[in-house]
Amino acid sequence: MNAMIARIAPKALSQNAKNRTIIRGMATVNMAVREAINRGIDEEMERDERVFVMGEEVAQYQGAYKVTKGLYQKYGERRVFDTPITEMGFTGIATGAAAKDLRPVMEFMTFNFSMQAIDQVVNSAAKQLYMSAGDINIPVVFRGPNGAASGVAAQHSQCFAAWYSSVPGLKVVSPYSSEDAKGLIKSAIRDPNPVVVLENEMLYGTMFPMSDEAQSSDFLVPIGKAKIERVGSDVTIVTFSKMVGLSLEAAEILAKEGISCEVINLRTLRPLDYGAVFNSVIKTSRLVTVEEGWPQNGIGADISANVIETVFDYLDAPIERVTTADVPMPYALSLEKAVLPTVEDIVASVKRTTFRGK
């Protein structure tokens, strides 16, 4: 069968990282987010010899969360290698390698560990182009899981979206679906600027449909453009990453009560697509922001300020923000559940903006 397809439609056949032949161009498939990221990295490594993968356990262990599974077997040690547990050192190394036009895809096992290396990310990578007046660009990708997982407690649950997206010179993306994940990692790798990719551990195993187009090796999701996941008319919900899923669930519940929610998946946190938010607010007149980070100085705070500055006259209600509780993450399950935003929290916030119910 494969031989026949190879003769008739050679481009329809391809090898995935597990060396299984799959037939493309036939249908949408369901794909887990971790596999989508894996494919994205694999395709970019095939396409550009300068792309390499580094991080703790990314090679022989197949990745702490299996995102880089199979890449070491396929590409070997020159292009996929393990680092010691020395974030500050290897983040600087990734930055220097990128300064000489290589394309490192560097993994932080979780972004909590990026705090050990944040000076290299911000002062060495993000600011380099500016300080050198355009002479030296740093085409590095810093990727890894961000935010809360499950039961991993205070030091392993922080969301870094607000911190990194405040830095001029950095691009910051945060995928939700498999399509987001694949398209964004590919765009990030091709981008000549430093890109922080905030993934989410809880989403890695979630399956999403991948269209024909999304499966192709040319598929890119542009950095800097939000996606309207659900069109609506009564209220705008702006969010990213895992909270997109919760927001869509909330929208379903609200729809049954006659409230039509527009859900915007930001995809990129920097440069943030304020235009998409403004246009939506102009349409709906109400705004709820949802994020997994802490409330003070968060993404929602920035979006709120910008909306008030630019499209205040269109608002019919105060803006609502849904965020994680203002505490370090506790361990006990019931406490963790109470700290993280829930679908109910989003529903309640939306209702406050529509002045319906308490």
Catalytic residues: 87, 156
Q: What share of the chain is helix, strand, coil (3-state, %, to 5)?
A: 40, 20, 40
State the minimum distance, in angstroms, from the CB of residue 177 to other proteins.
25
Q: How far is CA 80 from the centre of its chain?
A: 22
The correct pick among 275, 318, 328, 357 for binding other proteins (CB under 8 A) is 275
CA gyration radius for the chain? 21
Q: Which of 108, 119, 28 is nearest to 65 (CA)?
A: 108
Contact flag: residue 113 with other proteins (CB under 8 A): no
Q: Which is nearer to other proteins, 98 or 161 (CB)?
A: 98
The correct pick among 15, 21, 86, 211 for binding other proteins (CB under 8 A) is 86
Contact flag: residue 52 with other proteins (CB under 8 A): yes
| Cα(288)–Cα(304) distance, integer angstroms | 9
Contact flag: residue 280 with other proteins (CB under 8 A): no
Q: Which two tokens stand for residue 344?
A: 């109910």
Binding mask 157-176 toward other proteins (x if CB under 8 A, else -) reads -----------xx-x-----
Q: Which two tokens stand for residue 21?
A: 């032949």
Contact flag: residue 312 with other proteins (CB under 8 A): no
Contact flag: residue 61 with other proteins (CB under 8 A): no
Q: Which is nearer to other proteins, 77 or 257 (CB)?
A: 77
Contact flag: residue 184 with other proteins (CB under 8 A): no
Helix, coil or strand: residue 105: strand
| Cα(265)–Cα(242) distance, integer angstroms | 10
- 264, β-bridge pairs: 228, 238
The contact set with other proteins (CB under 8 A) reads 52, 78, 81, 83-84, 86, 88-102, 119-120, 123-124, 129-137, 168-169, 171, 192-193, 271, 274-275, 278-279, 306, 309-310
